[in-house]
Amino acid sequence: MTTTEAPPEQERPIGFGRLLRKEDPRLIRGMGNFVDDIQLPGMLHLAILRSPMAHARIVSIDTSAAQAHPKVVAVITGADLAEQGLAWMPTLSNDTQAVLATDKVRFQHQEVAFVVAEDRYSARDALELIVVDYERLDPVIDVRTALNPDTPVIRDDLEGKTDNHIFDWETGDEAATAEVFNNADVVVSEEIIYPRVHPAPMETCGCVADVERVSGKLTLWCTTQAPHAHRTVYALVAGLPEHKIRIIAPDIGGGFGNKVPIYPGYVCAIVASLVIGKPVKWVEDRTENLVSTGFARDYIMKAEIAATKEGKILAVRSDVLADHGAFNGVAAPVKYPAGFFGVFTGSYDLEAAHAKMTAVYTNKAPGGVAYACSFRITEAVYMVERLVDCLAYELEMDPVELRLKNLLKPEQFPYTTKTGWVYDSGNYEPTMRKAMEIAGYEELRREQAEKRERGELMGIGVSFFTEAVGAGPRKDMDILGLGMADGCELRIHPTGKAVVRLSVKSQGQGHETTFAQIVAEEIGIPPEDIEVLEGDTDNTPFGLGTYGSRSTPVSGAAAALVTRKVRDKAQIIASGMLEVSVADLEWNKGSFSVKGDPSKSVTIQEIAMRAHGAGDLPEGIEGGLEAQICYNPSNLTYPFGAYICVVDIDPGTAVVKVRRFIAVDDCGTQINPMIIEGQVHGGLTDGVGMALMQMISFDEDGNCLAGSLMDYLIPTALETPDWETDSTVTPSPHHPIGAKGIGESATVGSPPAIVNAVVDALKPYGVRHADMPLTPSRVWEAMQGNHTPPI
């Protein structure tokens, strides 16, 4: 395993390098402050009654017995909210979603009513006292039949809606792609499914809402990855003045996209506090989190790849059926209803590409959040990397050789794909070669050949992925009209300590360390002297939040640039202190000195004191040493990586063991390699979960079968090998420090490597494709020639 030891004290970097995380002493000692740790005087507790049915008309709701419970303060139904015009709210995709159902329920566990009580137990007990009379309707569960003419219409709340269609989307040139396919030597087609999965953060979603009666100001402690975006949405939706809303995201126990949307529970808590005049806490239980909050994926991808018989890949196309559940809650920039699925051309030089997609409603929980996927890149990368392996199978070529033959060349960057994405920088082959070298690729193939002779099943899987992160340029990208640029403010205190304020919000990624290191690198103040503040809309500048691996590409750039702005001012003050012109000063990471005379210098700390102290400053310079900027990225950044997975499969039981996993990532300039490795370890583990064991599945009545962590499995250390991580460094040309972001690379890149390895192991059985999750049963069925799609 890669070493993750911290350097000794005297080698602590003032800037980039290995540094223990500043937030960890608090978190590992149990001294964090999470939403459920918040206790306010007089605080009440809210619990939500959920529908037992997937599709049913609400005939009546009787809340009288619940109201009579001695500890119950209020019972609210959809009808009550409708009177206030609050029964419906917008989703992140400009659809509407019921806060509480008024007319009918559209997925199992949909919110129907809520109880506010003096304690959590009483609130939960009172739910049992609410009597709802439902009239069952036929549910739409099989996404493949959702558009059939005789299928019930789920969204009859939408005016004029006569089917379950949400949108059609396409990208690329259909005719040109067809032309290439028609003339290609080899065409390989496969239906590739990325099943519905769930981010399942350790901390579930929740909030404490507190509306002050006199000022009318709402303070909402909330599990949100995007506090500023949430504030504005509440202002626009609920009509609360924005300056009267303060969102505080305290410590967050994992997000992975699950904490991007605004959930009905938050709105219910706000309404309750508004009506009752006391603080109200709502925290989901585990089941509620799994069955009702933002899921991810759920794509059925009919995919095709065209190539010459020598293995030159010519074109890729796909036709996708997307299951968005009962409300379109996809979290993606508005102009990108399919997220960034358009990067499905992968890391290859193609002649043509085309994709089309149809998204539909079903009676399942809404979502489509970016679960560590950079807006649907997980699906895109999985599809193309599976396709390339299917092509290798048909051509009887080594999958690495096939990839090496087709990877983009360094001189092609910046490279515009056939679907219009501009890859900023890349040097792919050395990354692939490095992974092969660490793996001992040739030797592994030799071992595999020997084992196949003996009937043993060993598989080697490869993936090469290109990510697109750091959304994004405001000319193209917005969420509900909010541009995706990030503010940042830096203040240097008189004694040379600093505070940097950001709009993003860590859910465990180590922002308090990474951003301190970026500022430190630029201004030479040690990271431990720099406080990182985020997650409080009253005390941080506006920005769109943390998801899609955007914190370092967007806010990291903002942090670097704001620090340079402060440094520029410091240089002018230094020129006054040293009585030389600005041009005669040189920067030595922490001090300015006179060119040619290093003995004449002032430290940044001395400059800070001068900036706040007595005495004259150079003409036109105000006191203080601080700055604020808003960074608008000119392009996305495109991290990439080469992953190799080795699996052994027990031929008798079909149990898959991941023996080795080699991950070589290129995320451009590295700020803290230890944090990067940690992010990669987590993402790879996630990949094992998705590839081998996870799926949010439903029975034919729409009952969710994944309502606990006994049913929806999270991998443990025993299912994961010692990760072998390494890296190459290809800086982003447009990012101020060349960093590209790493948060989601491993989740994007690992599922195809693992699935490719399993399918490779099953080659003696003539298996070319098998869908996730590759549980022992599904692997065994594939070995019998009975592979069935999971949906």
Closest distance between other proteins and the C-beta of residue 247, in Å? 23
Say whether residue 534 binds other proteins (CB under 8 A): no
Say whether residue 708 binds other proteins (CB under 8 A): yes
Listed ranges 361-369, 547-555, 622-630, 771-779: which one lies at the site for other proteins (CB under 8 A): 771-779
Whole-angstrom distance, CA of residue 21 vs CA of residue 185:
54
Closest distance between other proteins and the C-beta of residue 35, in Å? 12
Nearer of residues 106 and 281 to other proteins, judged by Cβ: 281
Contact set for other proteins, span 22-41 (CB under 8 A): 36
Angular region, 42: left φ>0, alpha ψ -120 to 50, beta rest:
left
Closest distance between other proteins and the C-beta of residue 257, in Å? 23
Say whether residue 124 binds other proteins (CB under 8 A): yes
Listed ranges 2-10, 252-260, 586-594, 776-784: which one lies at the site for other proteins (CB under 8 A): 776-784
Nearer of residues 203 and 677 to other proteins, judged by Cβ: 203
Among the listed residues 285, 319, 536, 584, the single contact to other proteins using CB under 8 A? 285
Closest distance between other proteins and the C-beta of residue 778, in Å? 8
Say whether residue 789 binds other proteins (CB under 8 A): no
With 0-12 / 13-18 / 19 or more C-beta atoms within 10 angstroms meaning exposed / middle / buried, residue 246 is: middle
Among the listed residues 334, 404, 609, 713, the single contact to other proteins using CB under 8 A? 713
Say whether residue 484 binds other proteins (CB under 8 A): no
Closest distance between other proteins and the C-beta of residue 389, in Å? 24
In eight-state DSSP terms, residue 763 is G
Among the listed residues 34, 82, 90, 125, the single contact to other proteins using CB under 8 A? 125
Say whether residue 659 binds other proteins (CB under 8 A): no
Whole-angstrom distance, CA of residue 94 vs CA of residue 98:
13
Say whether residue 64 binds other proteins (CB under 8 A): no
Among the listed residues 287, 427, 628, 703, the single contact to other proteins using CB under 8 A? 287
Whole-angstrom distance, CA of residue 759 vs CA of residue 420:
32
Count of residues interacting with other proteins (CB under 8 A):
33
Whole-angstrom distance, CA of residue 134 vs CA of residue 130:
13
Nearer of residues 124 and 451 to other proteins, judged by Cβ: 124
Closest CA to 462 of 272, 661, 654: 661
Whole-angstrom distance, CA of residue 678 vs CA of residue 5:
12
Could you give the count of Cα atoms lying within 13 Å of 597 in the half-sphere of its Cβ?
8
Closest distance between other proteins and the C-beta of residue 710, in Å? 7
375's tokens: 């807006």
Nearer of residues 365 and 516 to other proteins, judged by Cβ: 365
Closest distance between other proteins and the C-beta of residue 775, in Å? 5
Could you give the count of Cα atoms lying within 13 Å of 789 in the half-sphere of its Cβ?
16
In eight-state DSSP terms, residue 108 is T
Say whether residue 776 binds other proteins (CB under 8 A): yes
List of residues 6+ apart from 710 with CB closer than 8 A:
none
List of residues 6+ apart from 129 with CB closer than 8 A:
65, 66, 68, 69
Other CB atoms closer than 10 Å to residue 175's CB: what's the count? Answer: 8
Say whether residue 71 binds other proteins (CB under 8 A): no
Say whether residue 283 binds other proteins (CB under 8 A): yes
Listed ranges 311-319, 406-414, 588-596, 707-715: which one lies at the site for other proteins (CB under 8 A): 707-715
List of residues 6+ apart from 112 with CB closer than 8 A:
48, 49, 50, 51, 58, 61, 77, 78, 100, 101, 105, 132
Say whether residue 777 binds other proteins (CB under 8 A): yes
Whole-angstrom distance, CA of residue 410 vs CA of residue 726:
20
Nearer of residues 143 and 692 to other proteins, judged by Cβ: 692
> Residue 278 — φ and ψ, nearest 5°?
-130, 160
Closest distance between other proteins and the C-beta of residue 23, in Å? 24
| β strands within 212-327, DSSP E | 218-222, 245-248, 280-283, 296-307, 313-323
Whole-angstrom distance, CA of residue 509 vs CA of residue 513:
9
Among the listed residues 273, 775, 787, 791, the single contact to other proteins using CB under 8 A? 775
Among the listed residues 157, 394, 398, 711, the single contact to other proteins using CB under 8 A? 711
Say whether residue 719 binds other proteins (CB under 8 A): yes
Which residue is it, tokens 């750091």?
Answer: 470
x-marked contacts with other proteins along 674-693 as a string, rule CB under 8 A: ------------------xx
List of residues 6+ apart from 389 with CB closer than 8 A:
399, 461, 462, 752, 756, 759, 760
Among the listed residues 165, 217, 246, 286, the single contact to other proteins using CB under 8 A? 286
Say whether residue 652 binds other proteins (CB under 8 A): yes
Contact set for other proteins, span 543-582 (CB under 8 A): none
What is the binding site for other proteins (CB under 8 A)?
36, 120-121, 124-125, 128, 283, 285-287, 652-655, 692-693, 697, 705, 708, 710-711, 713, 715-716, 718-719, 775-777, 780-781, 784, 786
